[in-house]
Amino acid sequence: MLKIGIIGLGRIGKVHMTSICTRIPEAKIIIAADPFLNDEMIDFAKEFGIENLTKDYKEVLNNKEVDAVLICSSTDTHADISAEAIELGKHVFCEKPVDHSIAKINKVKEALEENPVKFQVGFNRRYDHNFAAIRKAVLDGKVGDVHVTKITSRDPNPPSAEYAAVSGGMLLDMTIHDFDMVRFLTGAEPVSIYVEPAVLVDKAIGEAGDIDTAIITIKMSDGSIAMIDNSRKAIYGYDQRAEVFGSGGMVASKNDSESTVVISDENGVVGEKPLYFFLERYMDSFTLEVKEFIDAVINDKEIKTGIDAGLKSIEMALAGNISIKEKRVVEISEVQK
Ligand SMILES: NC(=O)c1ccc[n+]([C@@H]2O[C@H](COP(=O)([O-])OP(=O)(O)OC[C@H]3O[C@@H](n4cnc5c(N)ncnc54)[C@H](O)[C@@H]3O)[C@@H](O)[C@H]2O)c1
């Protein structure tokens, strides 16, 4: 039985706690930490029989029984806690993004080179049934040589302007998943990026220095072109689709909805809206990613979404931010220097 410690008991910490306690019998959570530990978190953990709760994440890291930690705290803590955990020989599952700074991600990479524990980044969308099926079709040669990849990624509602101001901006906070998805679906690396940004949803987001809408084009190392279409507000719900087109055909996914029911009457033919947001749409993928991490630790398997996935997605986001600022195509190599 793999013994797990969870660091951070906010939204995503609770998601992973629920997965492990209800759907992953090979692992057991023996301790969890959050500096703002409150009654709600305590009650939530106790429902799963987890009594060992602390405000200090170091108690999780220094617990000799803990084999692996899940880092689910705020983004600015991920890299430091990861490096500390790795140096103590703990296997690490780290929520995305690892950090906003390439230098700090490289520090985690160095720690891994010295202490080769398992390290996985929480790019859960790779485990979504639709996107995994697109990747499989590409690997099976169903589209031939990839020519164009299109990602549509639109949230149902924008965050507050206050959140936007401290999140690092839309590309680092939201589009980061789409950057990883482009690499995942094509199996190629980004070469250059151009972002056409807009503030069309909420002026306050613009005043806070962020954007809420973008069309992003990316030139890939296999010569193909990728396009990401982002909005912070789609009035019909969480719009998460992808398409890969190539010399041999095309593979595309639709949104998931609560049911496939379609009501037809004199006004038209109407289906259900997409599932509301990430907790509804991606719950299975959150379980599958952690299940795969636990399996990799127990059976010494290779981690597919490791530190390089964390690094490359940040390089794309940082290059994208330069593109927004300087209104030009930016080579990814410019941020790698
Ligand atoms: N993969 C995904 O789709 C996905 C979805 C949501 C969030 N996330 C990521 O997960 C992280 C957390 O997001 P959230 O939505 O759960 O935020 P949240 O604010 O709900 O929870 C974060 C928790 O971390 C705690 N925390 C802060 N510093 C800590 C520390 N030093 N030790 C222990 N706990 C600490 C906070 O008190 C808070 O309870 C973010 O990095 C976010 O980007 C990923």
The DSSP call for residue 57 is: H
The answer for 187, left when phi > 0, alpha when psi is -120 to 50, beta otherwise, is left
Distance 75 CA to ligand 1 centre (A): 7
Give the residue-averaged pLDDT of 223-236.
98
Any atom of ligand 1 within 6 Å of the Cβ of 33: yes
pLDDT-above-70 percentage for the chain? 100
User: Which amino acid makes up residue 84?
Assistant: E
CA-nearest residue, atom 24 of ligand 1: 73
Q: Return the ligand 1 atom nearest residue 78 CA.
A: 41
Mind listing the pLDDT tens digit for each residue in 283-315?
999 999 999 999 999 999 999 999 999 999 999
Is any atom of ligand 1 closer than 6 Å to the C-beta of 7? yes
Q: What is the DSSP letter of 56?
A: -
Q: Measured between alpha carbons, how far is 10 from 45 in angstroms, rounded to an integer?
A: 12
Residues 51-70: pLDDT tens digits? Answer: 999 999 999 999 999 999 99
Angle at 126 between CA 125 and CA 132, to 5 degrees: 115
CA-based nearest residue to 147, from 242, 215, 225: 225
Q: Atom 39, ligand 1: which residue's CA is nearest?
A: 10
State CA 308 to chain mean position distance: 14
Rounded-to-integer distance, Cα 273 and Cα 294, Å: 34
Cβ proximity of 92 and 68 under 8 Å: yes
Could you tell me which of 35, 307, 256, 3 has the C-alpha nearest to residue 128?
256
CA nearest ligand 1 atom 29, residue? 73
Q: What is the pLDDT of residues 154-211, one digit of tens each?
A: 999 999 888 877 788 999 999 999 999 999 999 999 999 999 999 999 999 999 999 9
H or E element in which residue 214 lies? strand 213-220
SS3 state of residue 121: strand
Query: If you measure from the C-alpha of residue 9 to the centroid of ligand 1, how many angstroms do you get, rounded to a whole number?
Result: 7
Q: For residue 35, what pLDDT is reported? A: 97
- What is the model's pTM? 0.96
pLDDT tens digits, 13-63 = 999 999 999 999 999 999 999 999 999 999 999 999 999 999 999 999 999
Pocket test for ligand 1, best of 6, 7, 9, 12 (most atoms within 8 A of CB): 12
* Cβ contact 91:112 at 8 Å: no
The C-alpha atoms of residue 230 and residue 196 are separated, in whole angstroms, by 10
What's the average model confidence in pLDDT over 212-221? 98
User: What pLDDT digit, counting tens, does each position of 104-160 carry?
Assistant: 999 999 999 999 999 999 999 999 999 999 999 999 999 999 999 999 999 999 998
SS3 200: coil
Residue 304, both tokens:
């597919």
Distance 6 CA to ligand 1 centre (A): 11
Pocket test for ligand 1, best of 40, 62, 73, 93 (most atoms within 8 A of CB): 73
pLDDT at 166: 78
